[in-house]
Chains A and B, each alone.
Chain A
Amino acid sequence: MPGPDLVKTGIAGLDEILSGGIPRGNVILLEGAIGCGKTTMGVEFVYRGASQFGEPGVIVLFEVSPDKIIRDAQGFGWDLRELERADRLRIVFTSREVLRQELQQADSVLLEEAARIGARRIFIDGVGRLTGGNSNGTPEARSAFHVFTEGLHRENLTAALAIEASAYHPGEHASLPEESIADTVIRLRMEESQRAISRSVEIVKSRGHDYQMGRHTFRIIDGHGLQVYRRVQAPRPSRDRAAAYDPATRISTGVPGLDGIVNGGYFVGSTTVVAGISGVGKSVMGLQYVAEGARRGERSLMLSLDEQVQQILRNAASIGLDLPREIERGLVRLEYEPPQEIEVDAHFYRIEQMVEGFNPKRVVIDSLSTYGSSLGTQGRVFRDFFHALVALMKEHQIAAVYNHENPEMLGMASMMGDFQMSSLVDNIILMNWAELGDAFRLGMTIAKMRGNPVNRFTHEVEILDGQGMRVLPRVLPVPPEQHPFSSYAGLVSRAPERRKFTGSADEK
C-alpha cells in the first residue's frame, strides 16, 4: 500500500521528526506566543517549497508589510523577490475581513491568484482574529474557521496558518477552536530555564502519518533559517546499525602498562569512564588515547567542555604529543564547546554530525561532570543525554572514553547516585591519590570491566613531563600472606577486623 503523499517542509530537522513531511492538503496550525518564530517557520515553509520542491506558494500578510518580510528573509539568504519575479511566489497584503469574505466565495480573487502560479502551499500569518479570537471556543468561531479551511481544501493547498496563543504552559493552554479542525497542530514555545530561553517545537497532532512526539529544540539561524534538533530522548531511526557489533576487537589505551591490566585494551563500541578528583591525570590519559589512535592511523575525536583547543594542544605538547601534526593529517579532531547554557538537543545534534562526518574510532569526552553541572543531575535530562550518547557511540562502534571528575577521593557513589550512569558504563577506571609518608602518589584501580576478568589491585601511576602517563609495574618480591575470609569479622559491613581465636567450639 503506498504511503501518504507527504509535503516536505524543507525546514532542517523538521521533516525528520514529521517522519518525512506533512500529508498534502493538511491544514497546519502554527501556534505560539509572540516571538516564537511562527512567521519565520511559515515563510520558510513556502520559500522551501518554491525554491527546492517546485511547489509555488502564496504568503498572506495582515499586519507586517511585505517589504519587511522580504528584508528579513534576505537575512536568511532567501531571495523572495526573485521568486516573485519567477512567478513562483506571491506575497499578498490584505485584511482579515477581506480574506474571510474571499475564502467564502467560489471565485476568490486570492485563490485565483494562487491558481495562476500553480500554488501548492499557502502561509497565512495571523488567523486568530479572523475567526473570532484566540480562545473563543464559540460554535460561531469554529464554524468560521471550518468555512475558512474548506476554501483552502477546495484549492488543494497545503496551508500553514499562524495563530497567536498567548498561554502556552501546560495546564494554562486553553484549547483553541482552530486546533480541533486543523489537521496538523505545531506548537512553538519559548522555554525558560534558569535565566536562559530556548525555543522548542512540538507536533501536537498531525493527521494521516506518524511523527515524533515531545518538545524538540529549534533555533533561528542567521543566513540559514530554522534548524530543528530532534529531542535527544527520541528514538533514532538508524539504531539498528548497532547490529554490526564486534565483540572481539580491542584497541590500545595508549598508556604504557594500562593495556596489560585491561586485558589488552578497550573493546570497540565500549564505554569507559575514567573517574577521579581534579588533577589526577584524566585528561592526560585522554590525550594519550587520542594520540595512540593517530599513531595507528585511526581517527580520534576529543570533545572538551573544560579546555579550549589551544589549551589542549599546549597540554599535549607538554607530554610530548604533536597533535597539530595529527590534526593536519586528518586523524585527530579537537572540539571545544562552552558548557554554559548547553541546549541539549542542539548539542547532541552537533556531536552526531561530528561522529557521522568524521567517523572516528575513538572518542574522548572531557568531561561528564561538566555536563552534569550544566544540564543538572536532577531529573532525566542528563541521564537521557548520556544514554543517547552511549547509544550513538555504540552504533558507530566507537570506543568512547568519558572523563568524570569524581568528587570523592575513593568510590563511585556519585556515578551511581546523582549521575546514575554506572549501569550504562562498560568499564570504570578509578584514579586516586594515596598519601604515603609525606607524598601523594597516584593510584589506578579498575573498578569495573564488563565481560573481562578484573583484578582490583591498585596500581601506581606516574605522569612525567615530556613523557606522559604510565602504569608502574606491580612488583611484589614476597607473595603477601593470604588469610581466609574466616579470619575476619565485619567483612560485609566493610569494617573488617582480624578475629582473635580463643579456641572455643563455636569458632569452628
Chain B
Amino acid sequence: MPTSFDDQRQLEETKRLLARAPIIQNACYLDLIVFLHRHPRALLTSEQLAGFVGYNLKETAKALDAFIEAGLLEPTTQQSMHAARMLVLLLDGPQGGGVRALLELASTREGREGILEALRGPGPRPDRPSTGPELRLVNSV
C-alpha cells in the first residue's frame, strides 16, 4: 500500500499510464510485452515463449492473441509445418504510445513493481485473471 504522498502520486500516475494502455490486463501481459520489447522480432514456439516469461501456456497464448488483435504484434500466420511463429512487435498503432510509456516505466524494478501494484488495485479492468506475479514459477528473462 502507498505510504506517502509521493507514493500515492506515483500510483495515480501509473494508473493514468495503464488507462492509456488498456491492453495490459495483468502481470502476464506486462511481462510478455516487456519481453517482446527486448526481443522485438522473436521466432519462437508458444511453449518457449511461455517458458521465457514464466507464465503458463494458456495465459501466454491469450495475451499473445490479445496483442495481435490490438495491432501490437504483426499477425504472422502459423504454417502447419512450423512449430514457431515470428513475433514482430509494432508500437506504431493506436495503443503503441501508451504501451511505450508503460515500457519505459517498467524498465526499472521499482517501475515494474509500481505497475503491478496498480494492476492489483481496484478499478474497472475487465477479464482480469486471478493469476499474478506471485504465482510465477520461472522468470528466465
Q: Does A268 contact B (CB under 8 A)?
A: no
CA distance A81 to B64 in the complex (A): 24
The answer to whether B41 and A92 touch across the interface, beta carbons within 8 angstroms, is yes
**Are B40 and A66 interface neighbours, CB within 8 A?**
yes
How far, in whole Å, are A67 and B84 apart by their CA atoms in the complex?
Answer: 21
Spot the interface stretch: B1-9, B74-82, B120-128. B74-82
- C-alpha spacing A67/B40, complex, angstroms: 9
| Min C-beta distance of A347 to chain B, whole Å | 41
In the assembled complex, A105 has its CB within 8 A of some CB on chain B: yes
| Contact B39–A98 (Cβ < 8 Å) | no
Residues of A close to B84: CB separation below 8 A: 94-95, 98, 101-102, 109
B38 and A110: CB pair below 8 A?
no
Answer yes or no: B86 CB below 8 A from chain A CBs: yes
Known A95-B48, A98-B48, A101-B84; judge A109-B43 contact (CB<8 A): yes
B101: interface (CB < 8 Å)? no
- In the assembled complex, the Cα of A151 lies from the Cα of B133 at a distance in Å of 41
Interface residues of B in 12-64 (CB under 8 A from A): 37-45, 48
Question: Does A143 sit at the interface, judged by CB under 8 A?
Answer: no
Q: Any chain B CB within 8 A of the CB of A90?
A: yes
How far, in whole Å, are A113 and B41 apart by their CA atoms in the complex?
A: 10
Is there an interface contact between B42 and A93, defined as CB atoms closer than 8 Å? yes
Given contacts A101-B84, A105-B81, contact A95 B44 (CB under 8 A): yes
> Does A105 lie within 8 Å of B43, measured CB to CB?
no
Instruction: Determine the residue in chain B with the shortest Cβ distance to A112.
Output: B86
* Nearest CB in chain A to that of B82: its residue: A109
Does B70 lie at the interface of the complex (its beta carbon under 8 Å from any beta carbon of A)? no
With A98-B83, A101-B82: A109-B76 Cβ-Cβ less than 8 Å: yes
A105 CB → nearest B CB, Å: 6
- Per-residue CB contact flags for chain B residues 79-99 toward chain A (1 = under 8 Å, else 0) read 101111110000000000000
Interface string of A85-105 (1 = CB under 8 A from B): 000001111110011011001
Q: Which of A94, A99, A107 contacts B81 (CB 8 A)?
A: A107
Within the complex, what minimum Cβ distance (angstroms) separates B54 from chain A?
15
Whole-angstrom distance between the alpha carbons of A91 and B48 in the complex? 18
A92 touches B83 (CB 8 A): no
Does residue A455 face the partner (Cβ distance < 8 Å to B)? no
| Residue of A with least CB distance to B42 | A93
How far is it, in angstroms, between the C-alpha of A91 and the C-alpha of B84 when the chains are bound? 16
With A93-B43, A98-B43, A109-B76 in contact, do A67 and B38 touch (Cβ < 8 Å)? yes
Which partner residue on chain B sits nearest A101 by CB separation?
B83
CB-based contact A109/B86 at 8 Å? yes
Cβ contacts under 8 Å, B38 to chain A? 65-67
Determine which of B37, B40, B42, B141 lies in contact with A94 in the assembled complex, contact meaning CB atoms within 8 Å.
B42
Other-chain residue from A65, A107, A110 in contact with B43 (beta carbon distance below 8 A): A110
Query: In the complex, which of the residues A65, A90, A91, A93 contacts B44, with contact meaning CB atoms closer than 8 Å?
Result: A93
Q: In the complex, what residues of A have CB within 8 A of residue B45's CB?
A: 95, 98
Q: Would B41 and A66 count as touching, CB distance under 8 A?
A: yes
Residue of A nearest to B86 (CB): A109
CA distance A99 to B41 in the complex (A): 14
Per the bound structure, the CA–CA distance linking A90 and B89 in Å amounts to 12
B32 CB to closest chain A CB (Å) equals: 14
Interchain CB contact under 8 A, A92 and B82: no
Given contacts A98-B48, A109-B86, A113-B86, contact A91 B79 (CB under 8 A): no
Whether the pair A94, B83 counts as a contact (CB closer than 8 A) is: no
Contact B81 A102 (CB under 8 A): no
* Cβ distance A100 to chain B, nearest Cβ, rounded Å: 11
Instruction: Determine the chain B residues whose CB is within 8 A of the CB of A98 once the complex forms.
Output: 43-45, 48, 83-84
The reply to whether A65 and B39 form a contact with Cβ atoms under 8 Å apart is yes
Are A92 and B81 also in contact (CB < 8 A) when A98-B48, A109-B76 are?
no
B42 touches A92 (CB 8 A): yes
CB of A107 within 8 A of CB of B40, answer no
Q: Which of A91, A92, A101 has the most CB of B within 10 A?
A: A92
Given contacts A98-B48, A109-B76, contact A91 B83 (CB under 8 A): no
Contacts of B82 in A (CB 8 A): 101-102, 105, 109
A90 to B84, CA, bound (A): 17
A residues within 8 A CB of B40?
A: 66, 91
**Nearest-CB residue, chain A, relative to B35:** A65
B43 touches A91 (CB 8 A): no
Question: Inside 8 A of A92's CB, which chain B residues have their CB?
Answer: 41-43, 86
The smallest beta-carbon distance between A503 and chain B, in angstroms, is 106
Measured CB to CB, the nearest residue on chain B to A105 is B81
- Taken residue by residue from 27 to 39, chain A's Cβ proximity to chain B (1 for < 8 Å, 0 otherwise) reads as 0000000000000
A105 partner residues in chain B, CB cutoff 8 A: 81-82
**C-alpha gap A91/B41 in the complex (Å):** 7
Known: A93-B44, A98-B44. A107 touches B79 (CB 8 A): yes
Contacts of B39 in A (CB 8 A): 65-67, 93
CA distance A95 to B83 in the complex (A): 12
Residues of B within 8 A of A (CB): 37-45, 48, 76, 79, 81-86, 141
New A-B pairs, 11, CB < 8 Å, besides A92-B43, A95-B45, A113-B86: A65-B39, A66-B38, A67-B37, A91-B41, A92-B42, A93-B39, A95-B44, A98-B44, A105-B81, A109-B43, A109-B86
A–B complex contacts, Cβ < 8 Å, 9 sampled: A66-B39, A66-B40, A66-B41, A67-B37, A98-B43, A98-B48, A105-B81, A109-B85, A113-B86
Residues of A within 8 A of B (CB): 65-67, 90-95, 98-99, 101-102, 105, 107, 109-110, 113
**What 5 pairs between A and B have smallest CB-CB spacing?**
A94-B43, A93-B39, A98-B84, A93-B42, A67-B38
